[in-house]
Chain A
Amino acid sequence: MTVATDSRVMLMTEAIHDALDVALGMDPDVFELGEDIQDPKGGGFGIHKGLEAKYGSERVRLTPISEQAIMGAAIGAAIAGMRPVAEIMLMNFIAVAADQLYNHAAKLRYMSGGVTPVPLTVRTTTGAGMGFGAQHSDMLEAQLVHTPGLKVVVPSTAADAKGLLLSCIFDDDPCVMIEMNALYFAVQDEVPSGDYRVPLGSARIAREGTDLTLITYGRQVLDCLAVAEQLVGEGISVEVLDLRSLQPLDTDAIFASVAKTRRAVVVHEAVTRGGFGAELSALIHNELFNELAGPVARVGGANTPIPYASSLEQAFLPGSHIESAVRALLA
């Protein structure tokens, strides 16, 4: 792994492009496949632009609209020892490939007693607030985390998007990177050049604090940072913990933070009921029950499909409910 000697400011989309470029350049067994990813468009958000021109159409491979075939092709190629990066255009379409991902990719290492591992990466995007409606906007990380054998990451910064993606590509297990599209062009930060890795299972303290921990990931990291900033004026010190990696999960970081602040609010965009926040809440209660100043709170998406009307879609999102949850726990 080369040590990054320089870095530059990039959008999240550019950072993802950079990761793909680095991976394709360093290992001939890496290839991409997905719908519309070739030039000139380079995918729905332009992430792949120029990669086909640079690496050829064999390794930046255009697929038909066939999610089961895309996922299965990635699985087979991975079992043969390659490192495919499959794009599933929108997270809701994982449902179309569900059998391949959940019954095969996740389980073939285990069912084979370790002799047919599946070192593939799935990249997918989603997020409410874009007006894409109920079938194009869901955060479904709970389903992935609920399937042993899969690894799941959700970056909130451009640097993490690059570092996590490279770690996923060179990980020997099936990894899913969830890219929240609200962040694609909204975040930009310093991204190290070259083969930059962020290890899986490592959370990041996005903001240090002492009174309460907001545990979150993806777009909601930005929401939480905004709330934390707003509360400074009232003398409230909120720590924001960006999980980055949901499976494996950095429980040490979670427990260290909540042991310190004694108050935790979990924030995620996904539907609250049965969401990953429930798992986090249970873990924290189990580990730190006697130290908690109050129960772990969850602020998540409404228990509804995501509506189209912008007024309703904004009401679905958890962002406007974070502050009141923080205040309630501090009261």
Chain B
Amino acid sequence: MTTTEAAIAVGTRVHLYRTAVRILAFDETYRSAMLSGKVGGMYYPARGQEFAAASVAAHLEQRDYVVTTYRGVHDQIAKGAPLRELWAEYMGKVTGSCHGKGGPMHVSSPAHGLMVTTGVVGSGLPIANGLALASKLRRTGQVTVVNFGDGASNIGAFHESLNLASLWQLPVVFVCQNNRWAEYTPYGAGTSVANVAERAASYSMPGVTVDGNDPIALYCAAGEAIDRARRGDGPTLLEAMTFRFFGHYFGDQGEYIPEAEYSAALAADPIPRYRERLLADGSATAQELDEIEQAARQEVDDAAAWAFEQPLPPVSELTTHVYSEEIL
């Protein structure tokens, strides 16, 4: 498996960009729809964190498992959740991935390996261990990736999960997308170590901090961790440094983020920066990248148009899927 940056194929490099712009197109279009009132509800944008999802998911097969959080649209798209059903689910439509009963915080698309999205910080880690345990017991070679934020590294479930994964040598990769802010609280006010990855040592697993906005660096680090899990050598705590541009939830002005920090992050927006890099190193032409961007926008526009036409669930759906049988 590739661990050196230079050895990454052009096709892979461009694929990372394609995934990121598909996520960007979805996020931009959805935010725009929120602003114009065409969609309502809560939305937790992942703008700025696209590569944290894309560079990890690029190593995963459809049968591998992903667990993510309410700020998970990038992980959901990167794992292959179909955009039409995703947009419809975000709008609560009956033909959404989850019949409109979960919404953005609870999207599942198990056919694509997207098993759980959780709205409770840190709760995905124990569940990821279970998915990994099943793979191990059944000897399938599947890997589980669980995504969470820096804030989640302080909740008990994080610590229990890392301990257990290490003890049982589970095929799981713990991906901490450290965007420096846990809701309105800066990293330093919540976490007693300088880097989340330092905590790996307490649980006898490798801990790696990487620039999550450098698609290639993250791709390499993720590849090592996923390979390690797949060959049975156990879990890794992978900390991908990143930033979120739209606050905690869409509408949050982010007034608690120091201006200098915010401007610096905007100036270092990973997507245009990577586009420049691909052009500069000859991985792609401007026309190719334009076509990728255009295709992404078209795919999202199609998904949105389709989803807007879909109905909300009928009231009869309130009482279905509580149990396996039609009982309450």
> Which chain A residues have a beta carbon within 8 Å of chain B's beta carbons?
31, 58-59, 63-64, 66, 68-69, 71-82, 84, 99-100, 103-104, 108-117, 148-149, 151, 171-173, 201, 248
Q: A82 is contacted by which of B116, B129, B137 (Cβ under 8 Å)? A: B137
Q: A99 is contacted by which of B123, B128, B323 (Cβ under 8 Å)? A: B123
Q: How far is the CA of A64 from the CA of B125 in the complex (A)?
A: 16
Q: A76 is contacted by which of B108, B134, B156 (Cβ under 8 Å)? A: B134
Q: How far is the CA of A100 from the CA of B120 in the complex (A)?
A: 10
Q: Which residue of B lies closest to A97 (CB)?
A: B126
Contacting pair A69 B164 (CB below 8 A): yes
Contacting pair B98 A80 (CB below 8 A): no
Contact-residue size bin, chain B (C-beta under 8 Å from the other chain): 35 or more
Task: Give the residues in chain A near B132, CB-CB below 8 Å.
Answer: 76
- Least CB distance, B222 to chain A, in whole angstroms: 21
Q: B126 is contacted by which of A31, A75, A78, A81 (Cβ under 8 Å)? A: A75
Task: Give the residues in chain B near A151, CB-CB below 8 Å.
Answer: 323
Task: Give the residues in chain A near B144, CB-CB below 8 Å.
Answer: 76
- Least CB distance, B68 to chain A, in whole angstroms: 13
Q: Which 9 A-B pairs have the closest CB atoms?
A: A76-B130, A72-B126, A113-B99, A80-B134, A113-B98, A69-B160, A111-B102, A172-B324, A111-B106
User: Counting CB contacts under 8 A, is B292 at the interface?
Assistant: no
Contacting pair B118 A104 (CB below 8 A): yes
Contacting pair B324 A173 (CB below 8 A): yes
User: When A110-B101, A113-B102 are in contact, do A68 and B126 touch as well, CB less than 8 Å?
Assistant: yes
Contacting pair B131 A80 (CB below 8 A): yes
Q: Which residue of B lies closest to A249 (CB)?
A: B327
4 further contact pairs, Cβ within 8 A, besides A80-B65, A82-B137, A115-B111: A58-B137, A81-B134, A82-B134, A100-B127
Task: Give the residues in chain B near A82, CB-CB below 8 Å.
Answer: 134, 137-138
Q: B108 is contacted by which of A99, A115, A172 (Cβ under 8 Å)? A: A115
B residues 288-328 touching A (CB-CB < 8 Å) = 320-324, 327-328
Contacting pair A109 B98 (CB below 8 A): no
Cβ contacts A to B, 9 pairs, < 8 Å: A63-B164, A75-B126, A79-B130, A82-B137, A99-B120, A99-B157, A100-B123, A109-B323, A149-B322
User: When A79-B131, A80-B130, A110-B101 are in contact, do A116 and B108 touch as well, CB less than 8 Å?
Assistant: yes
Q: Which residue of A lies closest to B327 (CB)?
A: A248
Contacting pair B320 A114 (CB below 8 A): yes
Question: CB-CB contacts of B82-102 with A at 8 A, as 1s and 0s?
Answer: 000000000000001111111
Q: B99 is contacted by which of A77, A78, A114 (Cβ under 8 Å)? A: A114
Q: How far is the CA of A171 from the CA of B118 in the complex (A)?
A: 24
Q: B98 is contacted by which of A64, A68, A84, A111 (Cβ under 8 Å)? A: A111
Q: Which residue of B lies closest to A174 (CB)?
A: B323
Contacting pair A173 B323 (CB below 8 A): yes
Contacting pair A103 B123 (CB below 8 A): yes
Q: How far is the CA of A76 from the CA of B99 in the complex (A)?
A: 21
- Least CB distance, A156 to chain B, in whole angstroms: 23
Contacting pair A110 B137 (CB below 8 A): no
Contacting pair A76 B164 (CB below 8 A): no
Q: Which residue of A lies closest to B119 (CB)?
A: A103
Q: Which residue of A lies closest to B67 (CB)?
A: A76
Question: CB-CB contacts of B242-276 with A at 8 A, as 1s and 0s?
Answer: 00000000000000000000000000000000000
User: When A76-B129, A100-B126 are in contact, do A69 and B161 touch as well, CB less than 8 Å?
Assistant: yes
> Which chain B residues have a beta carbon within 8 Å of chain A's beta carbons?
65, 67, 96-102, 106, 108-111, 115-116, 118, 120, 123, 125-135, 137-138, 144, 156-157, 160-161, 163-164, 167, 320-324, 327-328
Q: How far is the CA of A99 from the CA of B127 in the complex (A)?
A: 12
User: When A64-B167, A66-B160 are in contact, do A113 and B134 touch as well, CB less than 8 Å?
Assistant: no
Q: Which residue of B lies closest to A151 (CB)?
A: B323
Q: B322 is contacted by which of A72, A84, A110, A201 (Cβ under 8 Å)? A: A110
Contacting pair B110 A116 (CB below 8 A): yes
Contacting pair B328 A148 (CB below 8 A): yes
Q: Which residue of B lies closest to A116 (CB)?
A: B108
Task: Give the residues in chain A near B322, CB-CB below 8 Å.
Answer: 109-110, 148-149
Q: How far is the CA of A113 from the CA of B67 in the complex (A)?
A: 17
Task: Give the residues in chain A near B328, CB-CB below 8 Å.
Answer: 148
Q: How far is the CA of A69 from the CA of B99 in the complex (A)?
A: 29
Contacting pair B137 A31 (CB below 8 A): yes
Contacting pair B101 A104 (CB below 8 A): no
Q: How far is the CA of A108 from the CA of B108 in the complex (A)?
A: 9
Q: How far is the CA of A229 from the CA of B328 in the complex (A)?
A: 36
User: When A77-B134, A79-B127, A113-B321 are in contact, do A66 and B106 touch as well, CB less than 8 Å?
Assistant: no
Task: Give the residues in chain A near B118, CB-CB below 8 Å.
Answer: 103-104
Q: How far is the CA of A13 from the CA of B186 in the complex (A)?
A: 52
User: When A100-B126, A111-B108 are in contact, do A72 and B157 touch as well, CB less than 8 Å?
Assistant: yes
Task: Give the residues in chain B near A69, CB-CB below 8 Å.
Answer: 126, 129, 157, 160-161, 163-164
Contacting pair B129 A72 (CB below 8 A): yes
Task: Give the residues in chain B near A64, CB-CB below 8 Å.
Answer: 160, 163-164, 167
Q: B123 is contacted by which of A31, A59, A72 (Cβ under 8 Å)? A: A72
Contacting pair B106 A112 (CB below 8 A): yes
Q: How far is the CA of A173 from the CA of B321 in the complex (A)?
A: 10
- Least CB distance, B132 to chain A, in whole angstroms: 7
Q: How far is the CA of A81 from the CA of B125 in the complex (A)?
A: 18
Q: How far is the CA of A82 from the CA of B130 in the complex (A)?
A: 10
Q: How far is the CA of A180 from the CA of B118 in the complex (A)?
A: 33
- Least CB distance, A176 to chain B, in whole angstroms: 14
Task: Give the residues in chain B near A58, CB-CB below 8 Å.
Answer: 137
Q: B321 is contacted by which of A59, A100, A109 (Cβ under 8 Å)? A: A109
Q: How far is the CA of A76 from the CA of B145 in the complex (A)?
A: 12
Task: Give the residues in chain A near B102, CB-CB below 8 Å.
Answer: 111-113
Task: Give the residues in chain B near A68, CB-CB below 8 Å.
Answer: 126, 156-157, 160-161
